[in-house]
Amino acid sequence: MNIHEYQAKEILSGYDIAVPRGRVCLTADQVERAAKMMGGHCVVKAQIYAGGRGKAGGVKVVHHPEQAQELAKELFARKLVTPQTGPEGLRVRRILVEEAVEIAREFYLSITLDRGASRYILIASAEGGVEIEEVAAKAPEKIHKLTIDPLTGLRSYQARKIALALGLSGSLCEDCVELILNLYRACLEKDCALVEINPLVVTRAGWLMAMDAKMSFDDNAIFRHREYPDMVDYSQLDTLEITAGKYDLAYIKLDGSIGCLVNGAGLAMATLDVLNECGGKPANFLDVGGGASREKVAEAFKIILQDPDVKGIFVNIFGGIMRCDVIAQGVIEAANEVHCPLPIVVRMDGSQVEEGKQLLMASGLNVQCADNLGDGAQRIVKMLG
Amino acid sequence: MSILLNKNSKVLVQGITGRSGLFHARMCREYGTQIVAGVTPGKGGVHVEGIPVFNTVEEAVRYTKANVSMIFVPPPSAADAILEAADAGLELAVCITEGIPVRDMVPVKRILADHKMKLIGPNCPGLITPEESKVGIMPGYIHKKGKIGVVSRSGTLTYEAVKQLTDAGLGQSTCVGIGGDPIIGLNFIDCLKLFNEDPQTEAVFMIGEIGGSAEEEAAEWVKAHMKKPVAAFIAGVTAPPGRRMGHAGAIVTGGKGKAADKINTLRNCGVTVADSPTRMGEALRSALGKGKS
Which one of A188, A232, A263, A321 makes the best mutation probe of the B interface by having the most chain B beta carbons within 10 Å? Answer: A321
**Is the distance from CB of B272 to CB of B206 less than 8 angstroms?**
no
- Interface contacts A/B by beta carbons within 8 Å: 201
Closest residue of chain A to B109, computed from CA coordinates:
A118
Euclidean distance between CA atoms A135 and A127, whole angstroms: 7
Residues in B closer than 8 angstroms to A143, CB to CB, are: 251
Each of the 385 residues of chain A gets a pLDDT tens digit; together they read: 999 999 999 999 999 999 999 999 999 999 999 999 999 999 999 999 988 888 899 999 999 999 999 999 999 998 999 888 878 889 999 999 999 999 999 999 999 999 889 999 999 999 876 678 888 888 889 999 999 999 999 999 999 999 999 999 999 999 999 999 999 999 999 999 999 999 999 999 999 999 999 999 999 999 999 999 999 999 888 888 888 888 888 888 888 999 999 988 889 999 999 999 999 999 999 988 866 677 788 888 889 988 999 999 999 998 776 778 888 888 888 888 888 889 999 999 887 888 889 999 998 888 999 989 999 999 999 988 7
Q: What is the H or E stretch that residue B177 is in?
A: strand B172-177
Distance from CA of A36 to the nearest CA of B (A): 31
Closest residue of chain A to B238, computed from CA coordinates:
A273
Asked if the Cβ–Cβ distance from B276 to A276 is below 8 Å, we say no
Euclidean distance between CA atoms B93 and B188, whole angstroms: 17
**Is the distance from CB of B175 to CB of B133 less than 8 angstroms?**
no
Question: A86 — contact with chain B (CB < 8 Å)?
Answer: yes
Residues in B closer than 8 angstroms to A114, CB to CB, are: 252
Query: Cα B78 from chain centroid?
Result: 17
Nearest to B287 by CA among B170, B118, B131: B170
Over range B7-12, report the average pLDDT.
97
Asked if the Cβ–Cβ distance from B125 to A2 is below 8 Å, we say no
Euclidean distance between CA atoms B70 and B10, whole angstroms: 11
Strand segments, DSSP code E, in chain A are 22-25, 42-47, 59-62, 79-80, 90-91, 94-99, 103-114, 119-125, 143-147, 192-203, 208-210, 213-217, 250-253, 258-262, 284-287, 312-323, 344-351, 367-370
Euclidean distance between CA atoms B130 and B146, whole angstroms: 8
Asked if the Cβ–Cβ distance from B239 to A285 is below 8 Å, we say yes
Which one of A318, A371, A381 makes the best mutation probe of the B interface by having the most chain B beta carbons within 10 Å? Answer: A318
**Is the distance from CB of B193 to CB of B218 less than 8 angstroms?**
no
CATH of B126-290 given 3.40.50.720, 1.10.3720.10, 3.40.50.261, 3.30.300.30: 3.40.50.261
Which one of B152, B159, B210, B247 makes the best mutation probe of the A interface by having the most chain A beta carbons within 10 Å? Answer: B247
- What DSSP character marks residue A58? -
Asked if the Cβ–Cβ distance from A350 to B237 is below 8 Å, we say no
**Is the distance from CB of A101 to CB of A20 less than 8 angstroms?**
yes
Angstrom distances, CA of residue A118 to CA of A147, A354, B221: 9, 45, 19
Asked if the Cβ–Cβ distance from A113 to B182 is below 8 Å, we say yes
- A182-201 residues touching B, CB cutoff 8 A: 188, 191, 193-194, 196, 198
pLDDT at residue B292 above 60? no
Euclidean distance between CA atoms A238 and A230, whole angstroms: 17
- What DSSP character marks residue A231? G
CATH of B10-120 given 2.30.110.10, 1.10.10.10, 3.40.50.720, 3.40.640.10: 3.40.50.720
Question: A226 — contact with chain B (CB < 8 Å)?
Answer: no
- A20-39 residues touching B, CB cutoff 8 A: none
Domains and CATH numbers, chain A: 1-19+102-236 (3.30.470.20), 21-100 (3.30.1490.20), 238-383 (3.40.50.261)
Angstrom distances, CA of residue B165 to CA of B132, B277, B280: 18, 12, 8
Q: What are phi and psi of A277, to 5 degrees?
A: -60, -35
pLDDT at residue A313 in the model:
95
Asked whether the CA dihedral A96, A102, A103, A109 is positive or negative, the reply is negative
Distance from CA of A92 to the nearest CA of B (A): 16
B156, B248, B254 member nearest A318 (Cβ):
B156
* Residue range(s) occupied by CATH 3.40.50.261 in chain B: 126-290
Asked if the Cβ–Cβ distance from A269 to B236 is below 8 Å, we say yes
DSSP string, B159-173: HHHHHHHHHTT--EE
DSSP string, A277-329: HTT--BSEEEE--TT--HHHHHHHHHHHHT-TT--EEEEEEEEEEEEHHHHHH
Query: Degrees (nearest 5) of the Cα angle A120, A123, A124?
Result: 150
Asked if the Cβ–Cβ distance from A277 to B75 is below 8 Å, we say no
Residues in A closer than 8 angstroms to B105, CB to CB, are: 118
- A318-377 residues touching B, CB cutoff 8 A: 318-321, 349-351, 372-374, 377
**Is the distance from CB of B274 to CB of B282 less than 8 angstroms?**
yes
* Residue range(s) occupied by CATH 3.40.50.720 in chain B: 10-120
